[in-house]
Amino acid sequence: GGTGRFSLDAFRHEALSEVGSTNSECLARARAGDSGLLWITAGRQIAGRGRRGRAWTSEPGNLYASLLLINPAEPQRVASLPLAVAVAVHAAVRAVLPPGGEPLEVKWPNDILIGRRKTCGILLEGEGLPDGRRAVVVGIGINIRHMPDNAPYGVTRLADHGAGVSPEELFAHLYKEMAIVLDAWDEGRGTAEISRRWRDVACGIGEKITVNLSDRSLVGTFAGIDDRGFLMLDTGERAPMPIAAGDVFFE
């Protein structure tokens, strides 16, 4: 990072050996008055959480990290935070993978895939605090040595792609890349740059996809993303349909 709010030395880091969930721990710290820019990592989680209420299996050997932000931006701009986080996590994983392997890509909005199999999940959570502040927690789980054996989608782990890295080494890259990207994201600087970097590493643009929304599914061509980070789905209507949240499936 540069000299702004999210410069490299503005962050604190607490490494725990074991915790329920690093996301829950960050939220608890926020409720207790923490001022944010706090990273919490854990060697293992006993109640790791994924998106849509799913559990996130968290054995020792993978990376479990959460970043607490307090009032990071106005709500409208927080919508583009998942893209910024995906770009940073992608760069951190890129740094530890040997060149020339299967493609390392981002799946909308912010899964990280190797060879189209998921190797990293990101869970963003927000909470209004009693004192009027807003806490946003960015939770990142990266499969290094382990992966779930019962996932409803293809999964992989860095160790199977020649990255014999420790969680600590990978976290050092993540810490740095997040500071750089958040610094650019802050105050709207770098929005275009972040969406360009996201598109450069995105998988499936131009392909036929199914998007599961909470109440229905849509089929169309993945036309790209807009600067808010919404998925643009070409359903054959005159203008592509912007989608704020959903699960994407490729053919």
Contact set with ligand BTN (CB under 6 A): 21-23, 45, 48-51, 54, 56, 64-66, 111, 121-123, 139-141
Q: Is the peptide bond before 60 cis (omega within 30 degrees of 0)?
A: no
CB of 192 to ligand BTN, least distance (A): 27
Compute the C-alpha angle 26/145/44, nearest 5°.
Answer: 30
Q: Which is nearer to ligand BTN, 137 or 243 (CB)?
A: 137
CB of 125 to ligand BTN, least distance (A): 9
Q: Which is nearer to ligand BTN, 139 or 204 (CB)?
A: 139
Check if the beta carbon of residue 234 is closer than 8 Å to that of residue 250. Answer: no
Q: Which is nearer to ligand BTN, 167 or 224 (CB)?
A: 167
CB of 209 to ligand BTN, least distance (A): 18
CB of 237 to ligand BTN, least distance (A): 30
CA distance 58 to 148: 9
CB of 22 to ligand BTN, least distance (A): 4
End-to-end CA, the chain? 39
- Single out the residue of 94, 81, 150, 98 nearest to residue 120, CA to CA: 94
**What are the residues facing 118 on neighbouring strands?**
113, 155
Q: Which is nearer to ligand BTN, 11 or 64 (CB)?
A: 64
- Both structure tokens of 244: 């704020």
Q: Which residue is nearest to ligand BTN (CB)?
A: 121
Q: Which is nearer to ligand BTN, 26 or 180 (CB)?
A: 26
Contacts of 45 (CB under 8 A, 6+ apart): 18, 19, 20, 21, 22, 56, 58, 64
